[in-house]
Structures are given as structure tokens and as C-alpha cells.
Chain A
Amino acid sequence: METNDRYDSLGPGFEQETHRKNSPVPIWVLLFLVISLLLTGVSMVRFPKVFGEYRIYVKAEQRMREGETSDALNDLLGVVETHPNSVPLIVKLIDLSMEAGYYDSAAYALNEFLAGKELNDTQYARMMRHTERLEAYFLTYDVLDNLFADMAEMTEEEASQQQIEDICEALKSLLYDENQDQAMLYYYLATFSQSSEEYYTYIKQGYELDPELFDIRVQLGNAARTNGYTEEAKEYLLEALAKDKKDSGALRGLAVLSLLAGDAEEGLEYAMEAYELYPDGTYVRDTCLIALHVNGKSEEEAAMLAEIQEIEGELEEDTKQFLEDACTLQEYYIRD
């Protein structure tokens, strides 16, 4: 067997010796190797979970762009709860929650996780801006809470016209207070408005100030539809769906628009999708019922009717009228 020394590659100071037997691996090296491999195993066992969390962190913005806002933020919150000391995670959660108008989630993250953490200058400046925004949000929230406290126990019939007018006046006066969340004020002004046109005007003003507030896009879409602006309504509802594919309110709104446009099949598809996501959403079951009726699916219609009666009680009068063919779809939805 040809042998050549390679001592020359090691530089000066190495004597040329001839060894003919293999140098065995010492026990301590084997032990070291075993420990390294054990730690490798430990690392590999941990990796899938950690990598999953890292993916959620890295892909959160992309998922939001792709219409998975609620899922992305919920998943990110889950990761933050697993790593409550990670400033980058917490800051990202707060940033993205604020961007998406999830102000309650952002406030929760700020109070629960960020308190006591060290931030760099950029992060600090950004969190201060978020805090200012949230202060206005919660200030208005508290004011509205107090305003509505008396009405909480009343039914719609019991709340007198005077009380509603008083609340509207109080809300309008708050519009001059720069510390208040103006978009929220307009949102609630719309709630107490006396006509669909007024509702539309107020909601649109709120949307222009903060398009991410609550479900303002859905409300605006429905308001536009009620006032006969169906193309505009579709735009707002699709915008809401682009933000979150699981927005049952947007799906329900699109179901109504499809039914009004004469596309019964598409209307039913949207309605059922809304139902599967969140059956307890506002008017979701009713819209399903209408869509099933329009599509002539009488068995499913009967089942849905039974479900509504069991969970929500009697149908609204105008819904009954439509099912009895006493009014058209246009009259039912446009006069909302």
C-alpha cells in the first residue's frame, strides 16, 4: 500500500514519523459525538414546532395580503403566547393588528405582552403612535358605553324617539372633539340614523376616515345596496372579502347582490359559504333561507326555517312576506 506522509502540509515543527496502525477514536471523542448527536436529535424534535411558529411570523403579512387576515393574526397571537418575551413577535402582532383595524387585539397585546419590554427607537416611536390611536379608540368606546348604558336594557320599541335623538345629538357634538375616534362616531351615528340615505352618508364618512374599523366595509356595502348603488356595494363587499376571505358579513352581502342580479346559484353559494363560516352572523340564516327559496330547494328551505325558528324565534314580517311571494326580492332588500 502506497504511503506518503503529509506532515509537510502541517508546516514546520512536525517530525516525520511512520505509524502503520490506524489511530483509534478516543472514548471522550466518541462521547462528545454521542452528546452532539443527542443534541441534534433534541434539536430535530423541536424543529417542526419552532419552524411552524417561524413560518407564521414570517408569512403573516403575506397571508393578510392574500385575505387571511383573521387567521394570520390569530395564529400570530398563538405564537406570541408561546414566546411572550419575544419583542419582534409582539411588535409585529401589534403593528399588523393596528394595520388591520383589530384595535382590541392590538391593545391586548400592548397591555399583556409589551409592558416592561425594551424597544429600540424606531419600535418605540411606532408603539407610541399606536398608543395614541388606541387612546382615541377607547376614549370614544367608553363615552359610547356611558351613552348607551341606559338603552342596554330596553328593546327597540321601548327606546323612545327622543332618546335616540338625544344620543344622535351627543354623538354629533363629539365630532368636534379631536380626541375622539371620529370614524367610530360616524359608525354609531349611522346605527341611529332615521333613513337609509342618512345611514349611507354617515357610514361612508366613517369609512373614509378609517376603512379598517369594525365591519365598516360590509356596512357600507349593505348601505349602498339599500340605496340602489349595487355596483358600488359590490366593490365594498369585495374589498371586505379581499381583506378576509372568511368575512361572513361580506359573503352574506354578496349573496344578496347576486340574488338581486338574478344569479340565484351564485347567491346560494355565497349564502351557504357565509353560513358554514358563521351561521350566527347577522341575517346569515335569513339570507340562506331566501337563497334556498329563490333556488327552489324546498326541503333545505324547510330545514333552515325550522333552524331559524328554533334558534332565533319567529321570522321578521318582511321575510315572511317575501316567502309568501307578497313582495319581490328588490322590494325586500332595497327597502331595508
Chain B
Amino acid sequence: MIIPGFLISIITFPGVIIHELAHQVFCMLCGLHVYEVKYFQFGNPCGYVIHETSNQPSKVFLTSMGPFLINTILGMLILLPASVELISFREFSNPLNLLLGWLGFSILMHAFPSTGDAKVMVKWILKNPDVSIIWKVLVAPFVGLLYVCSIGSVFWLDALYAAGMGILIPYLLAHIF
């Protein structure tokens, strides 16, 4: 089912805010100036960060991949108990669970960096003659993955990722511990 992306973004707007905030935070941590941040807007893109770039591949990588790390961790921490009760126990009567479930799911759904972030890595790492081959080899799979995830999002890959984390992680934890 094709649903316009902006509609999905409206419903899951917390994820967009956290996504852009994650870019901003990593920029600050890497000492890169942040010129403008749109945390959420009704349009395409639904959010963006305009910041200083760098020739250091580590900074470029962190600022681009930051949302994946932050959204995944924060989304998981919020979603975990709610997902057990909502998905495994099928209990929908607790409003707190519904809130946490929606918030955690929304944040997880926006964990994937965009193709814009992939293009930044392509430009400042893969095509940058000043960057060592080791960095290029390390970063290339991530760039490929971002493009795959972007295409996959048309087929609800981002939602599957969020749901999968909500189901899989508790299950794995239960069997490990």
C-alpha cells in the first residue's frame, strides 16, 4: 500500500524531530557549525540540518549516521516494555503503553539516514581524494545500505525495522538472559 511519505511523517513526527536533533548533536560533538535546523515541516523533506562539512571522514560518518544510532537506541529504550505488552501480550488498554509504543515506534521508524546523508558521505569520503582507502572501504557498505533502506522504505522497510526491533530484541534478550 502506497501512502504518501509526508502523511507517515506527520503521524510519526517525533521520529523526525529526534532524527534531525541527532544530526545536530553529532555536529556539535564533532565541532561542526550547525547553520540551520528544520526539526519538522509539512513537506518534503520533512526535516533537514544545514551544517558545516569536514574533510575528516570520521566526522562526516558520525554526523551522517548519527540518527541511526540515536533513533535506534532511544526508540528501543522507549519501545521495549510497551512492545512486550502491546505486541506479545496484546494488551491495548493501558494509555501509557499506547503512548510509549507510538513514540518508540515513531523514533525507530526514522532511524535510517536519508539519501541526502548518503550523498554527503559519497562526496566527502568516497570521492574525496584526501581520504584513505581504508575509510572508503569501511564506509562504502554503509552508503550502499542507506540507498537500499531508502528504496526499502517505499515498501515499509522502515516500519518493519521498527516492528522487528520491538519484537526481536525482547525475544533475544529473553533467551539470552
- CB-CB < 8 A to A29: which residues of B? 17, 21, 39
CB distance from B63 to the nearest CB of A (A): 10
Task: Kindly state whether residue A326 has any CB partner on chain B within 8 Å.
Answer: no
Interchain CB contact (< 8 A) of B91 among A33, A47, A85? A85
Task: Kindly state whether residue B62 has any CB partner on chain A within 8 Å.
Answer: no
- CB-CB < 8 A to A21: which residues of B? 33, 35
Interchain CB contact (< 8 A) of A3 among B36, B52, B93, B104? B52
Interface-side segment among A48-56, A101-109, A125-133, A143-151: A48-56
- Which of chain A's residues 31-85 have a Cβ closer than 8 Å to chain B? 32-33, 36, 39-40, 42-44, 46-47, 50-51, 53-55, 57-59, 83, 85
CB distance from A85 to the nearest CB of B (A): 5
Q: Is B89's CB under 8 angstroms from A89's CB?
A: yes
Q: Is B21's CB under 8 angstroms from A33's CB?
A: yes
Q: Is A3's CB under 8 angstroms from B33's CB?
A: yes
Q: How far apart sit A14 and B174, CA to CA, in the bound complex (Å)?
A: 48
Task: Kindly state whether residue B24 has any CB partner on chain A within 8 Å.
Answer: yes
CB distance from B61 to the nearest CB of A (A): 15
CB distance from B73 to the nearest CB of A (A): 10
Task: Kindly state whether residue B74 has any CB partner on chain A within 8 Å.
Answer: yes
Q: Which residue of B lies closest to A85 (CB)?
A: B91
Task: Kindly state whether residue B116 has any CB partner on chain A within 8 Å.
Answer: yes
Q: Is B84's CB under 8 angstroms from A23's CB?
A: no
Q: Is A7's CB under 8 angstroms from B89's CB?
A: no
Q: Is A6's CB under 8 angstroms from B174's CB?
A: no
Q: Is A32's CB under 8 angstroms from B14's CB?
A: yes
- Which of chain B's residues 21-64 have a Cβ closer than 8 Å to chain A? 21, 24, 28, 33-37, 39, 45, 48, 50-55
CB distance from A181 to the nearest CB of B (A): 33
Q: How far apart sit A148 and B141, CA to CA, in the bound complex (Å)?
A: 77
Interchain CB contact (< 8 A) of B35 among A11, A19, A87? A19
Number of residue pairs across A and B with beta carbons under 8 Å? 123
Task: Kindly state whether residue A111 has any CB partner on chain B within 8 Å.
Answer: no
Q: Which residue of B lies closest to A43 (CB)?
A: B78
Task: Kindly state whether residue B99 has any CB partner on chain A within 8 Å.
Answer: yes
CB distance from B137 to the nearest CB of A (A): 23
Task: Kindly state whether residue B134 has any CB partner on chain A within 8 Å.
Answer: no
Q: Is A57's CB under 8 angstroms from B88's CB?
A: yes
- CB-CB < 8 A to A9: which residues of B? 116-117, 119-120, 123
Q: How far apart sit A25 and B39, CA to CA, in the bound complex (Å)?
A: 10
Q: Is A51's CB under 8 angstroms from B81's CB?
A: yes
Residues of B within 8 A of A (CB): 14, 17-18, 21, 24, 28, 33-37, 39, 45, 48, 50-55, 74, 77-82, 84-85, 88-91, 93, 96, 99-100, 103-104, 107, 116-117, 119-120, 123, 170-171, 173-175, 177
- Can you give 8 A-B contacts (C-beta < 8 A)? A6-B53, A36-B74, A39-B103, A42-B96, A50-B84, A55-B177, A58-B171, A59-B174
Residues of A within 8 A of B (CB): 1-7, 9-11, 14, 17, 19-23, 25-26, 29, 32-33, 36, 39-40, 42-44, 46-47, 50-51, 53-55, 57-59, 83, 85-89
Further 20 A-B residue pairs, CB within 8 A, beyond A17-B35, A58-B175, A88-B89: A6-B53, A6-B120, A9-B117, A9-B123, A14-B50, A21-B35, A23-B24, A23-B37, A26-B39, A29-B39, A39-B78, A39-B103, A42-B96, A50-B84, A50-B85, A55-B177, A57-B89, A83-B89, A88-B88, A88-B90
